[in-house]
């Protein structure tokens, strides 16, 4: 069984989105297409099935997608109930049939150097891949199990000028974070897709979710990543916000702003600041001295006379 860390960390720069997320206790679930790794959540489909099975699989995927799209459109137009569902089902079947007919026709292209059967299987596999990516059009929110990585601070924490927000699992219901698997390949076999979508095998579904949403190249292993999967966009956080750590280059005015912003939360938040170990390249952290911050901020700029009073004329002349 995978060991769950006590705290999951999310590196952020200091900006209005970060402050809004902290104030409203929300998380942003990003479309995988925006990730800095273009291969992330982008599976490659390999065919190991018969043409009849490929047709059945593609037809099912198309029907599911079209039916959901039509129902969503009808719901927005305030059409619901059995008639709406039946209309969506008819549209879905027609679209699936049309897709299969188009593929069968294009497979007869004389310019192909392979036989018609092989061409059709190849076209079916390509279209299954496109439908699969549409099916897994999910939102992903990424975390790490470490706050000490200089690389993560540089890449995601605004070059150490930002912060690292720590979350816990002490919520009801308990949130489900999943650990990223590093290495292997991003190939998904059509036989697994058939088991997952046609046979609805739970084991195949879990294997598919892992290989599409949770597998990354071995070169990203240093991130020690965990993921929440959900709807795309801003969502209420299912995790418990428990701590904030400020980067080496984070300005003290930012630290003060965040500390004051979160001061009145129901469950107290711990605040830390990173510092460098003079004997190594390691980063360490310590508690923020909130009393010291409160004594210094907010600061009012004052002139010398405002701080010490007006200069005596006799004293000024004596200096001359």
pLDDT at 10: 98
Task: Please state, as a whole number, how many other Cβ atoms lie within 10 Å of the Cβ of residue 121.
Answer: 22
On whether the pTM is more than 0.75, the answer is: yes
Read off the tokens for 245.
């750590």
Same-domain pairing of 35 and 49: no
Same-domain pairing of 98 and 166: no
Read off the tokens for 28.
């942003």
Same-domain pairing of 197 and 300: yes
Cβ 47 vs Cβ 54: under 8 Å: yes
For residue 204, pLDDT over 70 is answered with yes
pLDDT at 136: 84
Same-domain pairing of 230 and 318: yes
| Domain span holding position 87 | 44-135
Same-domain pairing of 100 and 31: no
Same-domain pairing of 186 and 320: yes
Domain end: 135, 158, 173, which one? 135
pLDDT digits (tens, 9 = 90+) for 64-88: 999 988 988 877 666 767 788 888 8
pLDDT digits (tens, 9 = 90+) for 99-112: 999 999 999 999 99
Cβ 93 vs Cβ 233: under 8 Å: no
pLDDT at 307: 77
Same-domain pairing of 121 and 172: no
Same-domain pairing of 180 and 294: yes
pLDDT digits (tens, 9 = 90+) for 26-66: 999 998 888 888 888 888 999 999 999 999 999 999 999 99
What DSSP string runs through 82-139? HHHHHHHHHHHHHHHHHHHHHHHHHTT-TT-SS-HHHHHHHHHHHHHHHHHHHHT--E
Residue from 205, 185, 222, 55 nearest 135 by CA: 205
Same-domain pairing of 259 and 270: yes
Domain end: 135, 159, 177, which one? 135
Averaged pLDDT for residues 177-184: 93
Same-domain pairing of 68 and 175: no
pLDDT digits (tens, 9 = 90+) for 141-174: 999 999 999 999 999 999 999 999 999 999 999 9
For residue 20, pLDDT over 90 is answered with yes
Cβ 231 vs Cβ 241: under 8 Å: no
Same-domain pairing of 121 and 174: no
pLDDT digits (tens, 9 = 90+) for 222-231: 999 999 999 8
Domain end: 97, 117, 135, which one? 135
Number of separate domains in the chain:
2
For residue 319, pLDDT over 60 is answered with no
Cβ 45 vs Cβ 61: under 8 Å: no
Same-domain pairing of 126 and 192: no
Phi and psi, residue 299, nearest 5°: -100, 135
Q: How much of the chain is helix, strand and coil, in % rounded to 5?
A: 45, 20, 35
């Amino acid at each position: 069984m995978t060991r769950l860390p006590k705290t999951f960390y999310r590196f952020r720069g200091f900006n209005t989105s970060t402050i809004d997320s902290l104030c409203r206790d929300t998380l942003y679930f990003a479309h995988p297409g925006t990730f800095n790794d273009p291969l992330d959540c982008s599976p490659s489909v390999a065919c190991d099935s018969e043409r009849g099975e490929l047709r059945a699989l593609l037809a099912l995927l198309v029907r599911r997608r079209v039916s959901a799209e039509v129902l969503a459109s009808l719901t927005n137009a305030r059409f619901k109930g059995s008639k709406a569902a039946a209309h969506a089902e008819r549209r879905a079947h027609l679209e699936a049939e049309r897709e299969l007919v188009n593929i069968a026709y294009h497979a007869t292209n004389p310019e192909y150097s392979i036989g018609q059967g092989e061409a059709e299987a190849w076209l079916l596999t390509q279209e299954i891949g496109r439908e699969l990516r549409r099916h897994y059009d999910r939102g992903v929110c990424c975390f790490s199990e470490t706050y000490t990585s200089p690389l993560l601070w540089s890449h995601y924490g605004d070059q150490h000028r930002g912060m690292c927000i720590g979350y816990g699992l002490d919520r009801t219901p308990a949130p489900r974070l999943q650990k990223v698997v590093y290495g292997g390949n991003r190939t998904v076999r059509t036989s697994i897709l058939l088991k997952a979508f046609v046979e609805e095998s739970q084991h195949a579904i879990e294997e598919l979710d892992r290989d599409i949403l949770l597998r990354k190249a071995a070169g990203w292993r240093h991130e020690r990543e965990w993921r929440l999967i959900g709807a795309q966009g801003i969502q209420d956080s299912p995790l418990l916000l428990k701590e904030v750590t400020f980067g080496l280059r984070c300005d003290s005015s930012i630290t003060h702003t965040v500390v004051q912003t979160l001061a009145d939360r129901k469950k107290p938040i711990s605040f830390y600041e990173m510092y460098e170990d003079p004997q190594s390249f390691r980063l360490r952290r310590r508690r923020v001295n909130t009393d010291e911050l409160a004594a210094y901020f907010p600061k009012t700029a004052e002139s010398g006379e405002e701080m010490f009073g007006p200069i005596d004329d006799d004293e000024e002349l004596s200096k001359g």
